[in-house]
Amino acid sequence: MLTKVTDNYQPIIRPARLQDTERISNLSKQLGYSIGHGDIRDRLRSLKQDDLHIIYVASWRNDFVVGWIHAHKSDFIIVSPQVLIFGLIVDINYRRRGIARLLVQKVEEWALIKNCQTVRLRSNITRKDAHNFYENIGYKNTKHSLEFSKNLI
């Protein structure tokens, strides 16, 4: 069951298209990721060909993209397959209208189609509003951990 958006207009949730590249890039900057349109286009083109990834956008009037979500089906040896949300953003001017909830619900539907019973995500410790949002839609904080990375180039 989809949640209604506050102003009588239900955004369209659909798979991302290459034409959405510029908006996806601009929205990513609101999360603190500075990435060029060309890089986004190349990655989007590649990910759209991989059925283990899904990228949905929320488009507003005139097909204006106001949010996106990226998720991936992951198989593990120690737990059942699950979907991981890699990114979610709604334009700062369109927040608190139920759009993020609609995007998450669409990923949850996709997860069930992919025979996954669990959806997981990570959220930066500084994003308290995001933590509250996830808890309000039924997600639970199940782990505190550190993330390690190593640049290879």
Instruction: Tell me if 61 is assigned to some domain.
Output: yes
β-strand pairing of 119-121 with 82-90: parallel
Give the chain's end-to-end CA distance (angstroms, integer).
45
Instruction: Tell me if 107 is assigned to some domain.
Output: yes
Q: How confident is the model at residue 8 (pLDDT cuts 50, 70, 90)?
A: low
Total structural domains within the chain: 1
Instruction: Tell me if 145 is assigned to some domain.
Output: no
Residues in the chain, total? 153
Tell me the average pLDDT across 134-151: 86
Residue 84's domain spans which residues? 12-136
Q: How far is Cα 141 from Cα 131, in angstroms, rounded to an integer?
A: 8
Q: What is the pLDDT of residues 34-74, one digit of tens each?
A: 888 899 999 999 999 999 999 999 998 778 999 999 999 99
Instruction: Tell me if 150 is assigned to some domain.
Output: no
Instruction: Tell me if 7 is assigned to some domain.
Output: no
What pLDDT, on the 0 to 100 scale, is given for residue 67?
96
Instruction: Tell me if 85 is assigned to some domain.
Output: yes
Instruction: Tell me if 152 is assigned to some domain.
Output: no
Give yes or no for a contact between 5 and 102, defined as CB atoms under 8 angstroms apart: yes
Instruction: Tell me if 102 is assigned to some domain.
Output: yes
- A 10 A CB-CB count for 104 gives 23
Strand blocks (E) in 82-130: 82-90, 119-121
| Predicted model pTM | 0.87
CATH number at residue 99: 3.40.630.30
Q: What is the pLDDT of residues 84-116, one digit of tens each?
A: 999 999 999 999 999 999 999 999 999 999 999
